[in-house]
Structure 1
């Protein structure tokens, strides 16, 4: 069971984990089919599951890939509105590595993962990241220079 709590007053608590996936020249992002913004690859943490296990599971489910976790980059408390709901989202954001020869590394255009057309994936160069609508928006700047040690971020788009 995903760790998501919907309250009657249109407030939502969500526990999410994400991956920064790079090939040293590009970064992999995804977006919902009907969304106008891009996000880091990831998903919800399940009850009694560590965030590290969750990001490995999410990438395996969505892309069929086994990844290695390089380290935690950020913990994030994110406050935002989406589709009429107010969210309080707690996220862990990890740097991960793909295995050598991963089919993902050969993708040159947008593509779908194993879950079909629900999510669209695409590699972007650093220069392309500057022009994208990325959520949460603070990531656009932070993805340009990844930290050497983890930090805690509290971010509100209200």
Structure 2
């Protein structure tokens, strides 16, 4: 069971995301029904360690085994989506892959079907993309040597 629950005030969500950078490109994804992009990852399950959840998500969605390098950002993200208020706790990890992975700059689907679209985008072009949370656009260009705690309040 995913670590997400709904109350009268809104929805609480525990999410992990991977920052996968290769050859100056970063991997992003979006739902086919959304206009915006985010970093690949997903919800952590109850009693699942966050890093294991991230490995599971990459395996399920892309059939990729990722190596967790380090925690980059701990994020409290407050936003509205589909008329619901969200309070999301997110851990964003720098990840690498152990095999050569071809960077495809054209959108592509993962192994789960056509519900999620993936794309490698040059980091230099991130400002041209609707990417959430927006702090990623600036933080990715100057990653700190130490994890950062970030609060995003979009409502």
Structure 1 portions without partners, runs of 5+: none
Moved over 6 A (4+): none
Supply the distance in 1 between the matched residues of 2:148 and 2:124 (Cα, whole angstroms). 24
The Cα shift of 1:127 comes to 2.0
Confirm or deny that 1:146 pairs with 2:143: yes
The Cα shift of 1:142 comes to 1.1
State the partner residue of 1:136. 133
State the partner residue of 1:29. 28
The Cα shift of 1:15 comes to 0.2
State the partner residue of 1:113. 110
State the partner residue of 2:62. 63
Supply the distance in 1 between the matched residues of 2:134 and 2:103 (Cα, whole angstroms). 28
Structure 2 portions without partners, runs of 5+: none
* Residue pairs, 1:1-158, within 5 angstroms: 1-7=1-7, 9=8, 11-102=10-101, 105-158=102-155
Q: Is the deviation greater in 66-75 or in 137-146?
A: 137-146
Q: 1:76-127 deviations in whole A, cap 9, x for unaligned?
A: 000000001000000000000012223xx24231100011110000000022
Kept in 2: contact 1:18–1:94 (CA 8 A)? yes
Q: How many residue pairs end up in the alignment?
A: 155
Structural RMSD (CA): 1.1
Secondary structure at 2:128 match in 1: coil
Supply the distance in 1 between the matched residues of 2:51 and 2:124 (Cα, whole angstroms). 29
Supply the distance in 2 between the matched residues of 1:31 and 1:125 (Cα, whole angstroms). 16
| TM-score, scaled to structure 1 | 0.94
The Cα shift of 1:10 comes to 5.6
Secondary structure at 1:56 match in 2: helix
Supply the distance in 2 between the matched residues of 1:138 and 1:116 (Cα, whole angstroms). 29
Secondary structure at 1:17 match in 2: strand
